[in-house]
Amino acid sequence: MKFKAIALFIAVLFIVSSASAGYLISGKNYVPNRIVVNFHPEVGQLTIDKSSGAALTGIYSVDELNVKYSAYDMYRLFPGSKDEDMKYYYVIRFNNPGDLEGMLSDYASLEPVEHTEPISIEPLYVEPNDPSYGNQWHLPQVHAPEGWDIEKGDPNVVIAIPDTGVDWDHPDLADHIWINSGEDLNGNHHFDNYPANQGGDIDNIDNDNNGYVDDVLGWDWVNNAGIFCTDADCDNEDNNPMDYVGHGTHCSGIAAAVTDNDIGVAGLDWNGTIMPLRIGYQYLWILGVVQMDWAASAINYATEKGAKVISCSWGSENTGGIGAAVDNAVAHGVLIFSAAGNSNNQQASYLCSREDVISVAATDQDDHKASFSSYGTWVDVSAPGVHIYSTVFNNSYTYFDGTSMASPLAAGLAGLVYSRHPDWNNSQVAQRIFESCDNIDDINPNYAGKLGYGRINAYNAVQGGGTTPDVSLNFVPENPPIEIHAPGTFYYDIAVTNNEDHTVNLDCWTMLTLPNGNVYGPLDLYHDVPFAGNHTTTYDNVAQYVPSDAPIGTYTFWGYIGDYPTQYSYSSFNFTVLSSAGDENSQDSWVWKSSGAFGFGGDIPTVPTEVSLEDCYPNPFNAQTNITFNLPKASNVELSVYNLAGRKVATLAKGTIGAGSHTITWDAYDYSSGVYFYRLSTDNYTATKRMTLMK
């Protein structure tokens, strides 16, 4: 790639590398005069004094190194963050490049410091390409027109594009640009870049207390980018995330350009909203690069501001705090997409190596792997990435090639699925995208199993079609044959087997065939019940009530799992009503007094009305304690334990967990006595409680 070629040319000036140390990877590009330091929580919020020319914290050991290495600036990486884990990350800037490996090691050795990270500089995954034929072939290829007949998207679903910025006043994007209501002083849902006393939005105040001043439509983190930045804006971060390169604007148009407006192009998420975040810049004569600390800040900003989807069309390494930012985003229910890369190899970037990030390879007009696209078993899905026509800077349009183009297309599809199912979490949306793909292994025999689930299909994703998961249902009556004198109750057992290697969310319902042949129901209907992969879930002694006015005769009791009303599997058995009270005025119903299929239904059990984390019991405890949390609906959950220094020492639960009250036992036999904290994080909830282990 071009980035790698010029890197060798300017290695003496720009690349900091090491072949032997643990912080730096040989040949990678790092910012030479900045590092990220994560302090232990007990240090608290730091007050930085820069009046002497050095950045001083009041902590002797830290200040000693700051003076030694000429640190002149120090600031929070995630300003305004409400999450405890994110509050103690700081960027330290030094006057002169030094021994980066030595600095990282020295700061990491300090007692107040949890860990340190370098800041890598990564390439955009794009290749410019001149027009050749046809505009936007990729939309029919992913069956967008058929999908739009069902779902056109919701402006409340925000797709964040951390990139080279966005041409936010482009006529094909302006009406789809996110506006920060907390800074939109005149409330007109538009960025008025003039003083508030003249009716504009600029008052030089952080009105929403998120650490950014006048961030009406996002933020620009690019600052002091150095002599190799040939962009129009290289020196100062500000509230104007304008894109002078075109890459971020191109990605934005692919995801959610204004559609059906008689100009320009269409975005896959017809009514979607784009959040502009500038973290990249023009780098000499190539298209651009991004910096990992800025990427981390942008991902956290998008999370704090309610983005549902983030598309990352650039390379990545676990530096600059990006790992913590992604952890936090996923814990808050954000769905992240990452371009697979343009190196035509099986090397996964940091983001693509994560199981909780969707990796996107690129395909051409014939569903073949794009010649440049990286591939591997780590790829999740594929999407068109060749000759993609979209918006660019200065109200223009052009074609680009790259997995950079494939990622926002998949992200736009996520916007449609979220709009279709607003109550779904990130794992459910991801699963729908996976299962709705068109398998292209037969077309790509040399890459079978290395292009993910296949090429995305918008129609299948929004209408519920696609590959049917390998699941089965079995209903077994207790004490057959079942003969009832109505009103009465019979009992049965349920087994749901999921042969997939991942959790599958299923709708579950029951029906009746009446003695006269008519079909009645559903008696019970539960949406999006999660079933763990490679596992059989059983429900024993499930009660089904037969009301007093049930006609005499033989019935068939049916159970179904699938995407209601589409059935993936079913099971049934017969029962007979021998006599009936025949009270047509009875308030009885088939669901009254029933425990319900699949372990739910009626008033047994009671589903919690809100998310909550209860006090563990016993507390203090010796070796074992029980932690209970309550979920009103299926949620993406992580329950973890931290020691007094703020280090995570155990993960007790992680993944999608169904509605209900759940109790998990922590066996602390191998842990030392002391104070610990247990933390529950769901899509929209975080709580931490204290417990004491006494041996």
CATH code of the domain covering residue 564: 2.60.40.3880
Contact 161, 338 (CB under 8 A): no
Cα 90 to chain centroid, rounded: 24
How high is the pLDDT of residue 95?
92
- In this structure, are 326 and 387 located in the same domain? yes
Q: Does residue 421 fall inside a structural domain?
A: yes
Cα angle, residue 303 at apex, residues 409 and 643 outer, rounded to 5°: 130
Residues of the chain under the 50 pLDDT cut: 1-21, 128-134, 587, 592-594, 599-606
- In this structure, are 394 and 491 located in the same domain? no
- In this structure, are 589 and 497 located in the same domain? yes
Encoded tokens for 168: 């936010």
Contact 647, 41 (CB under 8 A): no
Kindly report the CATH number assigned to the domain that includes residue 56: 3.30.70
Compute φ and ψ for 353, nearest 5 degrees: -80, -10
How high is the pLDDT of residue 286?
65
Q: Which of 247, 250, 332, 387 is catalytic?
A: 247
- E-strand ranges in 455-565 read 471-477, 482-486, 488-498, 504-513, 519-520, 525-531, 535-546, 553-563
Q: Which of 18, 120, 138, 163 is catalytic?
A: 163
- In this structure, are 278 and 362 located in the same domain? yes
Terminal CA-to-CA distance of the chain, rounded, Å? 58
Any long-range contacts for 532-537 (C-beta under 8 Å, 24+ apart)? 532/498, 532/503, 533/498, 533/500, 533/501, 533/502, 533/503, 533/504, 534/498, 534/499, 534/500, 534/501, 535/497, 535/498, 536/495, 536/496, 536/497, 536/498, 537/495, 537/496, 537/497, 537/498
Domain coverage including residue 551: 471-599
How high is the pLDDT of residue 660?
67
- In this structure, are 319 and 346 located in the same domain? yes
Instruction: Please say if 247 is a catalytic residue.
Output: yes
Contact 315, 422 (CB under 8 A): no
Q: Does residue 10 fall inside a structural domain?
A: no
Q: Does residue 212 fall inside a structural domain?
A: no
How high is the pLDDT of residue 317?
95
Encoded tokens for 292: 């990992």
Domain boundary among 599, 625, 650: 599
Domain boundary among 401, 434, 463: 463
CA distances from 310 to 87, 120, 215, 251, 277 (A): 22, 20, 18, 11, 10
- In this structure, are 689 and 579 located in the same domain? no
Q: Is residue 55 exposed (0-12), middle (13-18) or buried (19+ Cβ within 10 Å)? A: buried
Alpha helices in 377-441 (DSSP H): 403-420, 426-435
Q: Kind of pairing, strands 488-498 and 471-477?
A: antiparallel
In angstroms, the CA 214 to CA 180 distance is 9
Q: Which of 120, 374, 404, 436 is catalytic?
A: 404
CA distances from 511 to 60, 517, 521, 538, 646 (A): 71, 12, 5, 19, 51
- In this structure, are 289 and 151 located in the same domain? yes
Q: At what angle do helices 247-256 and 403-420 cross, to 10 degrees?
A: 30
How high is the pLDDT of residue 214?
97
- In this structure, are 416 and 480 located in the same domain? no
The tally of domains found in the chain comes to 4
Q: Is residue 479 exposed (0-12), middle (13-18) or buried (19+ Cβ within 10 Å)? A: exposed
- In this structure, are 55 and 133 located in the same domain? no
Encoded tokens for 376: 């591997």
Compute φ and ψ for 208, nearest 5 degrees: -100, 5
For residue 174, the number of C-alpha atoms closer than 13 Å in the C-beta half-sphere is 11
Kindly report the CATH number assigned to the domain that includes residue 264: 3.40.50.200
Cα 474 to chain centroid, rounded: 34
Q: Does residue 283 fall inside a structural domain?
A: yes
The DSSP code for 606 is P
How high is the pLDDT of residue 11?
27
Is residue 530 reached through a cis peptide bond, with omega within 30 degrees of 0 on the bond before it? no
Q: At what angle do helices 60-68 and 100-108 cross, to 10 degrees?
A: 170
How high is the pLDDT of residue 624?
85
Alpha helices in 344-423 (DSSP H): 350-353, 403-420
Q: Could you tell me if residue 539 is left (phi over 0), alpha (psi between -120 and 50 degrees) or otherwise beta?
A: beta
Encoded tokens for 579: 């006599």
Q: Does residue 622 fall inside a structural domain?
A: yes
Q: Which residues are paired to 475 by β-bridges? A: 494
How high is the pLDDT of residue 22?
75
Q: Does residue 446 fall inside a structural domain?
A: yes
Instruction: Please say if 404 is a catalytic residue.
Output: yes
Using a cut of 0.75, tell me whether the model's pTM lies above it: no
543: helix, strand or coil: strand
How high is the pLDDT of residue 130?
36
Instruction: Please say if 163 is a catalytic residue.
Output: yes
